[in-house]
């Protein structure tokens, strides 16, 4: 599904979020401490928006690995990384979130932006993320969540299940059903407290979250 929409993914994100996804990602990146010669991993990096924001927070000589299971999405990310002159600081690699393949205690920070709800086994992914983090490192998860107001939930459901598939299909020329899958995946994903409980169960010592746009999106910060 994501291969089919990769070329128009950035355009669709901007249209469907009314441009808010840029602000959400900047806020998520700001949760990562600035680190001299830091090492960061972006899981489910897609077209590398979040990885590009992380690069400046890793300091001179820092490195960011942008990983995704989908090669077509990574290809778009590589184009952006090269075009913006960050090829020396960001590498795009094809990796499964449930089997990251990096050594223990490798990264100062791990991020995931709108990826985690697409993972088959969340606990496996959280265990892997915690494993590759350095002690004291943090995992920043930006993901769709549950609006905190009843009227907003009703409006959001109407938008997600009616308007979003209509716009997404016409802009991306998608015939695979990805824009019907996306709202369904949001509906079945744990809410703010549910995701916090899973991260604590995975062994993180402290988990806090912040709601954005009335809880449509939340940022969870988990510390190892």
Q: Tens digit of pLDDT for each residue in 54-99? A: 999 999 999 999 999 999 999 999 999 999 999 999 999 999 999 9
> Nearest Cα to 100, choosing from 74, 129, 121, 71?
129
Query: Is residue 174 pLDDT above 70, yes or no?
Result: no
Query: Is residue 104 pLDDT above 80, yes or no?
Result: yes
Q: What is the DSSP letter of 96?
A: B
At residue 65, the pLDDT reads: 98
What's the CA gap between 154 and 75, in Å, rounded? 37
Query: Is residue 162 pLDDT above 90, yes or no?
Result: no
What's the CA gap between 169 and 188, in Å, rounded? 22
Averaged pLDDT of the chain: 93
At residue 217, the pLDDT reads: 97
Statement: 19-147+195-223 belongs to CATH 3.40.50.150: yes
Mean pLDDT, to the nearest integer, of 129-157? 95
Query: Is residue 168 pLDDT above 80, yes or no?
Result: no
Question: What strand order describes the sheet that includes 206-212?
Answer: 90-94, 63-68, 39-43, 107-113, 133-144, 217-223, 206-212
What residue ranges do the domains of the chain occupy?
A: 19-147+195-223
The rounded percent of the chain whose pLDDT value lies above 70 is 99
CB 147 within 8 A of CB 215: yes
> Nearest Cα to 41, choosing from 61, 21, 23, 55?
55
Query: Is residue 214 pLDDT above 90, yes or no?
Result: yes
Going by pLDDT thresholds of 50, 70 and 90, the confidence category of residue 172 is low
């Amino acid at each position: 599904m994501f291969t089919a929409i990769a070329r128009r993914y950035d355009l669709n994100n901007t249209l469907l979020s009314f441009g808010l996804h840029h602000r959400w990602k900047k806020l998520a990146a700001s949760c990562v401490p600035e680190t001299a010669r830091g090492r960061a991993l972006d899981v489910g990096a897609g077209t590398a928006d979040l990885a590009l924001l992380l690069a400046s927070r890793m300091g001179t000589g820092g490195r960011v690995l942008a990983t995704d299971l989908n090669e077509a999405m990574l290809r778009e990310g590589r184009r952006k990384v090269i075009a913006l002159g960050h090829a020396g600081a960001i590498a795009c690699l094809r990796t499964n979130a449930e089997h990251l393949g990096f050594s223990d205690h490798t990264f100062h920070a791990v991020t995931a932006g709108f990826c985690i709800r697409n993972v088959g086994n969340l606990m496996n992914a959280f265990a892997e993320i915690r494993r590759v983090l350095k002690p004291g490192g943090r995992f920043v998860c930006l993901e769709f969540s549950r609006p905190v107001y009843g009227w907003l939930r009703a409006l959001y459901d109407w938008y997600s299940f009616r308007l979003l598939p209509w716009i997404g299909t016409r802009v991306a020329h998608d015939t695979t059903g990805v824009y019907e899958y996306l709202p369904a995946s949001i509906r079945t994903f744990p809410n703010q407290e549910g995701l916090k409980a899973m991260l604590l169960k995975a062994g993180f010592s402290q988990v806090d979250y912040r709601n954005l746009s009335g809880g449509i999106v939340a940022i969870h910060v988990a510390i190892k």
